[in-house]
Amino acid sequence: MKNDPVDVLIIGAGASGAAVAWSLADTKMHILCLDQGGWMNPSEYPSTGRDWEAKFFGEWSSSPNIRRRPEDYPINDDNSPIKVVNYNAVGGSTVMYTAHWPRLHPSDFKVKTLDGVADDWPIDYDALTPFFEENDRMMGTSGLSGDPLSPLTHPPMPPQPLGLSSPIVAKAMNKLGWHWWPSDTTVATTDYEGRARCINLGHCTPACAQGAKSSTDITYWPHAIRAGVELKTHCRVREILTNEHGMASGVVYYDKDGVEQFQPAEVVIIACNGVGTPRLLLNSVSGKFPNGLANSSGLVGKNLMFHPYAQIYGYVKEPTDSNRAPPTCLWSKEWYDTDLSRGFVRGYGVQFVRGAGPVFEAVTSEQKGILPWGADHHRAFRKLNGHRIGFSAICEDLPEEHNRVTLDPVLKDGHGIPAPRIDYTISANSQKMMDHALARGREVLEVAGATDICTNAPIPWGGWHLLGTARMGTDPQRSVVNEWGRSHDVKNLFIVDGSIFVTSGGVNPTSTIQALALYIADQMKQRLANLFD
Amino acid sequence: MSDANELTSAQRADLRTIAAMIIPESDEYKVPGADDPAIQADMLATLGRDTALVGQALDHLAKLAGKPLAELDDARREAVAREFRTSGGAAAATLVRVVLQCYYRDDRVLRSLGLELRAPFPKGHVLEDGDWSLLDPVKARGGSLRRTP
């Protein structure tokens, strides 16, 4: 079945797809977004039920392979120590994220120049600055301006309260003379743009029933739809088709009834994340593009970067916030920049974690062997529960071509579309970085008086940040898209998600992903008259 | 839930026995064990997608024990339980998680821990603002972003 053509077709309604849709809406072009997921219903979010923690292990798992909703696609990540986690719905993985909101640093865009590794980005931080600011207003951020070791931000809302956990960490960091600062987050600390303020429902990663945590289904999308953007849900795109001129002509997708459809479009924008985007491009094979679309460089799917997490946590005598607050509260940039005396290049950001709920505490502590079976179980649990503090290092992953996304020869999704396969190893540099982070984290925890210290390095189900698999650059032989997100090979095809990252920085990337999406939309608007030249 | 019916009566008996070994009743803390009938009923009623792995775990346990776990003497039962946890892999971990997640949502247990018997939403929680003067040393120390060309 053929639909009426649209001017712009966006694939994916998550972090970047929502931002680019909203920004382009003021062109008054006919814009259509297709998403494989549907609208979320906050009344069904885990925190509305007594079994809220148990749901994390099943239908609200962060892993699509465990969750297995019809909207999810399977991922073969057996050959990776870090498993992919995501969420597939309107809002994408902003529905299920920690709302931690650092930006990449200016130095992150110049790693080759500064440290002689990887490549510089074709744009710099200053090019993104206005879009970071615009995005912060749209998403609604809270925080405290003035961090001396982070890029200057202007959060429209005050920071989260320190609560019980943050002062414990802060005192230890102060004793050690190390940097910390209250995190910028996308958790509303006051009523904001129709969203109610945070009431501390607990760990907000698996969606916020209050709507205080910013996800694009409740931020960008209502604005974009009011401005005329059309959003079709439960539509899974199988492939992008091209015409005899090598231009994208539209997409083939399966609608909510599973019926194959063709949607013609003048411009196609991909916003499917660092795994979904290469999967789609590699599935879009034709005579003219036998190795997948936009892949003349051979780099589609390569250079996958995850951010290996080095997590260390322990238990203090004082009560902590447990599950009674958003999970992240402070960050540190003490080890963010390169110091070769540490034995590795580049660095890591740190996010401090407030605690855990009782079920999560019991399950993880039993697995770590610090919560015994038998008569001593009750005493041990009371010592642990409500006393955890944590330190998680987000280690900068450098691009390596052997870390990649390909198509699995066997595994397919519910529509029969080949699923992605991940091949990934942790580099020696990243391993040294994680070791360093664990050692520093142990110092912090011990100064804080913590005992029963446990580690996860990497966090196995920690593949939140999916980056680098369709990198941007000025050289068509060394990159997939140009410096404003357009495919080198297909002049009406754009990519706006984390796959275009050249390097990963050492922070959560969503803020930068969305700033990039807004920047690319702005570039498109400035070039509408000669967009395909 | 029909999934719960997939466990045989022998498997249910072993589940009850191993659950009590994980979390026994405590007079000191005035809490039931994980073999408590209400907690067991919760497990069976909500097993759902975990049924297959829990079933595998119980099969493994039965193989190690050679007969109903409850019929072993204490020393042998302890040895089997240790071997089960060591060699049981993901299936054993799932069984243990099911026991823990049902136990730590039981009203009597939560009350004993001083936790409220409610969903987080809509009441939420109150978070104290904390002492912001802790940030003074960080501000005093200052610093700057890495210089970038």
Domains and CATH numbers, chain A: 6-49+85-530 (3.50.50.60)
Residue in chain A lying closest to B17 (CA): A374
| Phi, psi angles (nearest 5°) of residue B26 | -135, 120
Tell me the nearest-neighbour CA distance from A438 into chain B, angstroms.
22
Q: Are strands A31-34 and A6-11 parallel, antiparallel or unpaired?
A: parallel
Question: Within chain A, which residues score under 50 in pLDDT?
Answer: none
Task: Identify the pLDDT of residue A223.
Answer: 98
- Are residues B18 and B81 in contact, defined by beta-carbon separation less than 8 angstroms? yes
| Contact yes or no for A89/A35 (Cβ under 8 A) | yes
Tell me which H or E stretch contains A412.
strand A404-412
Percent of chain B surpassing pLDDT 70? 97
Q: What is the pLDDT of residues B8-49, one digit of tens each?
A: 999 999 999 999 999 999 999 999 999 999 999 999 999 999
B 84-123 → A contacts, CB under 8 A: 85, 93, 96-97, 100-105, 110, 113, 115, 117-123
Q: How confident is the model at residue B6 (pLDDT cuts 50, 70, 90)?
A: confident
> What confidence score (pLDDT) does residue B5 get?
55
Residue B69 above 90 pLDDT? Answer: yes
Of the candidates A463, A477, A395, A483, the one whose C-alpha atom is nearest the C-alpha of residue A65 is A463
Spell out which residues of chain B touch residue A382, defining contact as CB-CB under 8 Å: 29, 113
The answer to whether the Cβ–Cβ distance between B128 and A164 falls below 8 Å is yes
CB distance A54–B48 less than 8 Å? no
In degrees rounded to 5, what are phi and psi of residue A248? Answer: -65, 130
Does A58 touch chain B if contact means CB atoms closer than 8 Å?
yes
CA distance A89 to chain B (A): 22
Contact A471, A500 (CB under 8 A): yes
Q: B2 pLDDT exceeds 70?
A: no
Which chain B residue shows the shortest CA-CA distance from A367?
B93
Q: Tell me the C-alpha distance between A508 and A525, whole Å.
A: 28
Nearest 5°: the CA angle A33, A37, A41 is 110
Nearest to B119 among A49, A54, A125 (CB): A49
**CB-nearest partner of B134 from A110, A114, A167:** A167
Cis geometry, peptide bond prior to residue A458 (ω within 30 degrees of 0):
yes
A162 touches chain B (CB under 8 A): yes
Q: Which of B127, B132, B139 is closest, CB to CB, to A163?
A: B127
Q: pLDDT at position A329, please?
A: 85
Q: Give the number of other Cβ atoms within 10 Å of residue A169's Cβ.
A: 29
Residues 259-318 (A) with a CB less than 8 A from some CB of B: none
State the count of interchain CB pairs (< 8 A) between A and B. 165
Which chain A residues have a beta carbon less than 8 Å from that of B17? none
Mean pLDDT of B107-118: 97
What's residue A316's pLDDT?
Answer: 98
Whole-number pLDDT of residue A162: 97
Determine the pLDDT at residue B119.
Answer: 96
> Is the four-CA dihedral A344, A347, A351, A357 of positive or negative sign?
negative
Whole-model pTM: value is 0.97
Q: What type of residue is A87?
A: Y
DSSP annotation of A197:
P
> Cα–Cα distance between A331 and A89 in angstroms, integer?
29
Residue A137: how many CB atoms within 10 A of its CB? 14
Contact status, residue A214 vs residue A186, Cβ threshold 8 Å: yes
Q: Are B120 and A323 in contact (CB < 8 Å)?
A: yes
d(CA A97, CA A92): 10
Which residues share a beta bridge with A264?
A250
* Residue in A with minimal Cα distance to B93: A367
CB-based contact (8 Å) between A69 and chain B?
no
User: Can you point out the beta strands (E) in A27-167?
Assistant: 31-34, 76-79
Distance (Å, rounded) from C-alpha B24 to C-alpha A379?
Answer: 12
For B101, which of A54, A113, A199 is closest by C-beta distance? A54
ipTM of the complex as predicted: 0.96
Partner-chain residue, chosen from B48, B121, B130, that has the shortest CB–CB distance to A201 = B121
Distances (CA, A) of A65 to A15, A58, A316, A461, B53: 21, 10, 35, 11, 15
Q: Output the six-digit token pair for A465.
A: 């940040």
The answer to whether A64 touches A72, Cβ cutoff 8 Å, is yes
Average pLDDT, chain B: 95
Cα gap A507→A252, rounded to integer Å: 35
CB atoms within 10 A of CB A328: 24
B74 touches chain A (CB under 8 A): no
Strands A181-182 and A230-232: unpaired
The one-character DSSP state at B14 is H
* pLDDT recorded at residue A1: 59
Which amino acid, one-letter code, is at A80?
S
- Contact of B148 with chain A, judged by CB distance below 8 Å, is answered with yes
pLDDT score, position A423:
98
Locate tokens 């699995």: which residue? A408
Q: What is the pLDDT of residues A14-51, one digit of tens each?
A: 999 999 999 999 999 999 999 999 999 999 999 999 99
Q: Beta-strand (E) ranges in A148-205?
A: 181-182
Among chain A residues, CA nearest to B49: A58
